[in-house]
Amino acid sequence: MSFLAPYVSESDDGFSFTRLQASRFAKHVADDYNPIHDVEAKRFCVPGDLLFAYLLTQKGLYPRMNFIFSGMVMDGVFLRIEDGDEGEWRIVDGRDKEYLRATYAGSPNRDPEAIESLVRNYVRFSGHNFPHILQPLMAEKNVMINIDRPLVIYESMAIDLEKDSIHNPELEFAEATMDVVGKRGNAALHFRFLEEGREVGTGEKRMVLSGLREYEAEMMERMVELYDDRKRKKVE
């Protein structure tokens, strides 16, 4: 049984997520306390990393993979994995609306322990993007998201592994960059995979930050404090 079993509802024809399943994955696996993943959130959204994680448990880990996120998944939406063009999968709903497109190349690694290790390391890194990486990056660029209506879009993620036989990869953050054009910021977060201290691959996560304004340290500190307070209270 996959380690994701508590966080997904499966049937012979596909899969879906309840609010509680998605919220618990965000908080208990990814350590992500973004309010959009709260059970009671008005603008609730299933974490994109849960789609990524589920796809890997079903299809395997390939040396070269790219994931493009194209839609927000609500709770209870029935999904399926479809074969696209050669070397491609799509996660779609019953109306063929696409939420995730993945491309892959190389030979698959279907070792559940290796997949779980990579997934857990990646989603925890991804869940810590704010405030650990994005806050200092915004301060450097003298911009910040709107504290009352933050808009950060998970655009894509890619991994490039040296081989297809990794067993227990760990993730290490490398660097982050952001290009700002007007009120929009394009952020790229680079990381590498290590096994027994040796680099065995690299990766990149891309996000779009919209509605940017001039950086205000006091306001940003308040936003970080509110986020940290949610983690201390273990908000579901």
Q: Which residues of the chain have pLDDT under 70?
A: 1, 234-236
Alpha-carbon distances of 30 from 22, 79, 164, 217, rounded to whole Å: 11, 22, 24, 27
Rounded-to-integer distance, Cα 234 and Cα 219, Å: 23
* Count of positions (residues) in the chain: 236
Locate 45 and state its tokens.
């959204």
pLDDT at 198: 93
What are the chain's domains?
5-233 (2.40.160)
* pLDDT at site 133: 96
The pLDDT value recorded for residue 76 is 94
Residue 81's nearest CA partner among 104, 64, 63 is: 104
Res 1: pLDDT? 63
Q: Which residues are CB-contacts of 104 (< 8 A; sequence separation ≥ 6)?
A: 59, 62, 64, 65, 66, 87, 88, 89
pLDDT in tens, 90-122: 999 999 999 999 999 999 999 999 999 999 999
Tokens 């927000």 belong to which residue?
Answer: 72
The DSSP bridge partners found for residue 195 are 198
Q: How far is CA 180 from the centre of its chain?
A: 22
Contact 65, 40 (CB under 8 A): no
For residues 89, 56, 30, 154, the Cα torsion angle rounded to the nearest 10 degrees is: -20
CA angle at residue 41 from 38 to 44, to 5 degrees?
A: 85
Query: pLDDT at position 13, please?
Result: 85
Q: Report the alpha-carbon distance of residue 214 to residue 28 in Å, rounded.
A: 33
CA–CA gap between residue 68 and residue 94 (Å, rounded) = 19
Task: Return d(Cα 204, Cα 4) in angstroms, integer.
Answer: 23
